Amino acid sequence: MKSLKARSNQFSNPEYELEVLESTENEGQLFSDKLANVGLYPLKPTQIEILQINMGKMCNQVCKHCHVDAGPDRKEIMTREVMKACLQVIRQHLVKTVDLTGGAPEMNPDFRWFVEEIRKISPSIKIIVRCNLTIILANPKYHDLPEFYKKHRIEVVSSLPYFTAIKTDSQRGEGVFGKSIKALEMLNEIGYGMPDSGLILNLVYNPAGAFLPAAQSALEDQFKKKLWDLYQIQFNSLFAITNLPISRFLEYLVSSGNYEGYMEKLMEAFNPVAAQNVMCRTTISVGWDGYLYDCDFNQMLDLKVAAQNSQHISTWNQQALTGREIIVRQHCFGCTAGAGSSCGGATS
């Protein structure tokens, strides 16, 4: 499978995606109206705590639901120059957590250099890597990634949509489940996910289709039991994430005839508590080219932060960013449905 972009699919065009999303206004409600009803519009940040850095769209996988439209055919990756500008912001201790994502962030040739530089700045700053697991086995040069993560005390967050091959592979590609299990074994072996090791391994569940995730705690219990019984694998927490209707998942929804029903479901499940806790209130997302966004989803829709003169990491202005209005559109209903959804799982 190729990325939407490589296929010149119209859903790789943010303007078209937004047009499709806005067309649901007639059917249901505007997300901004829903926020206004609960006194949250315009949506403002609470405090910027997390810098989520998208190191590039290159990935060894081409998952069907990927909101980044990542894949081996995507060549956009972050340069060292942009990373240096990120380090400048991190050096000022303006954020508590650096969350590295992609694509597969490890495929960026400067990934290790970047992590080392962040760790040099602070031994205590939390560094998260969103590791797709299979990258560890994709090439001998990545086999020592678990050791590298451990050395720099990186928290590993990895997707595993289900504890069976059939469901995982249907979403993430043939053979992904088997390789993911092998990678999880390697991580467990050096202490990741093991009790009292201090090495955190969290898993991410997202539904393999047009439905909402189950309650996070119930899923976590089920995953823990199954992964232990079947493979003797351990992990710390499970994050249940809702698929947001953008990019490849939006294309899937529309082409499978599930779009209207899914949007209706998200709107019906609007939860004011989840709305209060949406991750964009505490996060700034950096694109591979250094531009700043309210979240990784807005990044993919090319909705840059509404902060004058602070739209790029090299011109970071804390005050302007903290005072900005967060840009919301219809896809935001994905963050507020049911128990809510963020890069750290449920929000209520």
Partner 1 sequence: MKTYYDPEDLKKFGKIADFQKPLADKFFDYYGAVFQEGALTAREKSLIALAVAHAIQCPYCIDAYTVDTLEKGCDEEQMMEAVHVAAAIRGGASLVHSTQMMNKAKELSM
Task: Answer yes or no whether residue 166 interacts with partner 1 by CB under 8 A.
Answer: yes
- The contact mask relative to partner 1 for 178-217 (x = CB under 8 A, - = no) is ---------------------------x-x-x-xxxxx--
Collapsed DSSP state (helix, strand, coil) of residue 333: helix
Q: CA nearest 2: which of 74, 57, 108, 77?
A: 74
Task: For residues 324 and 306, give the distance between their C-alpha atoms in angstroms, rounded to a whole number.
Answer: 6
Span near ligand SF4 by CB under 6 A; candidates 16-24, 59-67, 77-85, 306-314: 59-67
The CB-of-88 to ligand SF4 minimum distance in angstroms stands at 25
The entry of partner 1, ligand SF4, none that residue 213 binds, CB within 5 to 8 Å by partner kind: partner 1
Q: Which residues in 92-151 contact ligand SF4 (CB under 6 A)?
A: 102-104, 132
Query: Hey, what are 295's tokens?
Result: 């979240």
Residue 11 touches which member of partner 1, ligand SF4, none, C-beta under 5-8 Å by kind: none
141 binds partner 1 (CB under 8 A): no
211 binds, among ligand SF4, partner 1, none (CB under 5 to 8 A by kind): partner 1
d(CA 206, CA 208): 6
Binding mask 18-37 for partner 1 (x = CB under 8 A): --------------------
Binding mask 6-45 for ligand SF4 (x = CB under 6 A): ----------------------------------------
Is the distance from CB of 300 to CB of 247 less than 8 angstroms?
yes
> How far apart (Å, rounded) are the C-alpha atoms in residues 74 and 72?
6
- Which alpha helices (DSSP H) does the chain contain, by range? 14-22, 31-37, 80-91, 111-121, 135-138, 145-151, 165-172, 176-189, 216-231, 247-255, 259-268, 272-276, 296-300, 318-322, 333-336
- Residue 297 binds ligand SF4, judged by CB under 6 A: yes
* Residue 214 main-chain phi, psi, to 5 deg: -75, 170
The yes or no reply on residue 6 touching partner 1 (CB under 8 A) is no
**Residues making contact with partner 1 (CB under 8 A):** 162, 164, 166-167, 205, 207, 209, 211-215, 218-219, 222
**Residues making contact with ligand SF4 (CB under 6 A):** 59, 61-63, 66, 68, 70-71, 102-104, 132, 278-280, 294-295, 297-298, 326, 328, 331-332, 335
